[in-house]
Amino acid sequence: MERLTLSKLIVISQSESRSLEVPFGEGLNIILGGNKTGKSSIIKSIFTTLGCECKKVEADWKKIISAYMLFFKYGEKKFCIVRQGNKFQIFEYNGNAYFCLIETESFHEYSNCLMDVLKIKMPCISKDGKQFNVTPPLLFRFQYIDQDEGWTKIADSFSNVAYIKDWKPNTNKYVSGYLDDSYYELQAQKNEHIIERDDKRKELNYSQNFVSRITSTVSMMEKIECVEDVTKKLELLIAEAEKMRKIRFSINAEMTVLENDIYVNQQKLHIVSHNIKETQKDIEYAMMQNDELVCPICGTVYSNGLEEQLNITSDYEHGEKLMLELTNNIARANERMEGLKTEYNNITSDIQIVEESIQTSQELLVYSSFYKNKGQYEIYESCKKQLDVIQKEIDAHVFEISKIEERITEKKSSQRSKAIRQEIEKFCSTLADAINLPKTFIKLRDFVQIIDRTGSETPRLVYMYQSALYLYNLDRAYSPFNFYVIDTPNQQGQDVDNLQSVFKSLELLSSNEGQVIVGTERETGLESVASTVISLSEKRRCLNDADYKEHISLFESLQNEASQWVFDNHKMMKTNNRA
């Protein structure tokens, strides 16, 4: 980061054809003027140009000023911000002229461009989830004490901050250097590694799926010496399947015949069984009759002796033998049937196995020609090798993430937090001495002074802390925090002694390493050592026409440059869209 030094502010009223140029030098700058002379409006204009919306701006001032131009140096480079209503332009000086970096009515577009100029990256999230870089009102909020509420609340002069999530704690930590650019850089690196790790994990997952899907087939393929072997095997398998199907057919035929036999034998058995019962009755009947029987039709006399009755009984015995034989036949047929059924099932499952082998062989032939002929096999092989490479890349990302996390943890350590707090407290202590505040009042939370006092102690605590933070940052490094603007309070009813001690303490802030702009009604006593003193005497007439022509000419030349930029930018976007 570089030192940010304000060079000059020009405000233009085109409606009144008047303007004002306020130059700023290094060290102390004093804007001296009574009530309603415009000093606070000038001071607020600095921040308005930067995009910080001050809570109270004179309505007249807002109405007549059509353009604000703030010139500043950042390191060795010179820049200019022009603001007209909601339109922002940033220009950079190239040694001969200003060239436009951006013209936009989008505050965040402007803000992001300014942060690029300042090389600041502090990601912020709005309460509705939008992401953007830190904005000027967040960045500069500790560098202004406004004349209204600025003396009762710390760093709360701008209205366009509340939509940003955790705006207070995050900027407190950033401005104090606790969670600075390097912290956000580490976070960004960590996020990049996480994104890349997740991408690689997806790639690995995809490759693993691809490889595992094909591995089983390919491992079988590797066993094949040549396609002809598979073809021959396939032909044998088809022949075997055909033979087995024929056997199954003959088994099926035998089963049908057997089924028929069983049915016939069962019918016979039924008939014989019926006959036996009838014969049994005949025997019983014959035994009950006389020795001779006469046919009622032809009158023939039949002997009904023991011999005849035994003859019927032998029929009964024959029937029983027949029944036994038939039962045995059926049992044997059933037994054979069971055997055939088993044979049938076995051969069916054998056929199924052979058919599966046929299918596998056919698939092998298809895969074989697919992979070997279309180069897919090579893809599979390279994919398999790639798995190790991807895994190593993932491991590398995981290792990097853990290393970054270690560094983040180190940055966020309580030891470091304590050291920073003590350093700020040291500067607070110096300021407290200068403005007669007890050091016991110094209490920091989140690196910011707690305002828990009333009366005249409140403004002094605010002044002590913001001035101490300015000195702390000045001591720490060159940064955009190296300018500081104090607008002394509306001084009616102010404690004169306190004000005098505040003025006296300004000596502490007057180093030419930084830049302090003080707006005051009364002389501070440091006017002789100040780099610039601007005195305003006329009420509501701080604008004049002395340099208006020069200012409007500068403004118009900047506008021409901006128009050219808009034209070129539009053309470029069109070309990009076509491409």
Partner 1 sequence: MNKNSAQLVKEQQKYKILIRNLRKQQEEMNNGKTNVKQADSNQSK
Using CB under 8 A as the binding rule, whether residue 292 contacts partner 1 is answered as: no
Nearer to partner 1, 302 or 370 (CB): 302
Nearer to partner 1, 163 or 285 (CB): 285
Using CB under 8 A as the binding rule, whether residue 308 contacts partner 1 is answered as: yes
Nearer to partner 1, 289 or 422 (CB): 289
Closest alpha carbon to 138 in 177, 96, 175, 87: 175
CA distance 130 to 136: 17
User: How near is the Cβ of 270 to partner 1 at its closest, in Å?
Assistant: 19
- Range 144-203, binding partner 1 (CB under 8 A): none
Stretch touching partner 1 by CB under 8 A, among 241-249, 277-285, 410-418, 538-546: 277-285
Using CB under 8 A as the binding rule, whether residue 541 contacts partner 1 is answered as: no
Stretch touching partner 1 by CB under 8 A, among 9-17, 221-229, 285-293, 389-397: 285-293
Using CB under 8 A as the binding rule, whether residue 302 contacts partner 1 is answered as: yes
Candidates 211, 234, 293, 398; binder of partner 1 (CB under 8 A) is 293
Candidates 58, 282, 400, 457; binder of partner 1 (CB under 8 A) is 282
Q: Which residues contact 517 (CB under 8 A, 6 or more apart)?
A: 6, 24, 29, 30, 31, 43, 46, 483, 484, 485, 486
User: How near is the Cβ of 300 to partner 1 at its closest, in Å?
Assistant: 8
Burial 161-185 (b: 16+ CB within 10 A, else e): beebeebbebbbbbbbbbbbeebbe
Pull the structure tokens for residue 459.
């403004």
User: How near is the Cβ of 324 to partner 1 at its closest, in Å?
Assistant: 22
CA distance 381 to 219: 12
- In 10 A of CB 410, how many CB atoms? 11
Answer yes or no: are the C-beta atoms of 22 and 534 closer than 8 Å. Answer: yes
Pull the structure tokens for residue 25.
């030098």
**What is the DSSP annotation of 216-227?**
HHHHHHHH-S-H
Closest alpha carbon to 346 in 464, 244, 489, 232: 244
Nearer to partner 1, 187 or 273 (CB): 273
Pull the structure tokens for residue 125.
């999230």
Strands 532-536 and 27-33: parallel
Question: How many residues sit close enough to partner 1 to count as binding (CB under 8 A)?
Answer: 17
CA distance 8 to 384: 66
- Range 1-30, binding partner 1 (CB under 8 A): none
Using CB under 8 A as the binding rule, whether residue 289 contacts partner 1 is answered as: yes
Stretch touching partner 1 by CB under 8 A, among 213-221, 288-296, 347-355, 565-573: 288-296
CA triple 33-31-453, angle to 5 deg:
90
User: How near is the Cβ of 250 to partner 1 at its closest, in Å?
Assistant: 44
- Range 310-369, binding partner 1 (CB under 8 A): 311-312, 315
Using CB under 8 A as the binding rule, whether residue 306 contacts partner 1 is answered as: no
User: How near is the Cβ of 252 to partner 1 at its closest, in Å?
Assistant: 45
Using CB under 8 A as the binding rule, whether residue 457 contacts partner 1 is answered as: no
- Residues within the interface to partner 1 (CB under 8 A): 278, 281-282, 285-286, 289, 293, 295-296, 300, 302-304, 308, 311-312, 315
